[in-house]
């Protein structure tokens, strides 16, 4: 796993935080691929939006 995306437990915590915030399942399912695509330089607007939502959820999970 890409270190920039965090550990498996952090990803799980971020997914839980997104679910609790009411994120649609499609967004949750897509977030890993979108973040990887964004990190790989494919700066699609949708990938950036989903990656930003995931990054916010991950930051919240890390600070909890």
Q: pLDDT tens, 10-63?
A: 667 777 877 888 877 767 666 766 666 555 555 555 666 667 777 778 788 777
Range of the domain at 50: 3-63
DSSP 8-class letter at 64: -
pLDDT at 2: 45
DSSP letter (8 states) at residue 11: H
Instruction: Please state, in angstroms and rounded to a whole number, the distance separating the CA atoms of residues 31 and 28.
Output: 5
**Could you give the number of structural domains in the chain?**
1
User: For the whole model, what pTM was predicted?
Assistant: 0.39
Helix boundaries (H) for 3-44:
8-20, 25-39
Angstrom distance (rounded) from CA 35 to CA 20: 20
Q: Which pLDDT belongs to residue 14? A: 75
């Amino acid at each position: 796993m890409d270190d920039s995306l965090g550990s498996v437990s952090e990803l799980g915590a971020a997914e839980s935080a997104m679910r609790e915030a009411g994120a649609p399942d499609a967004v949750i399912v897509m977030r890993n691929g979108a973040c990887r695509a964004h990190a790989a330089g494919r700066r699609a607007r949708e990938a950036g939006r989903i990656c930003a939502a995931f990054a916010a959820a991950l930051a919240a999970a890390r600070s909890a």
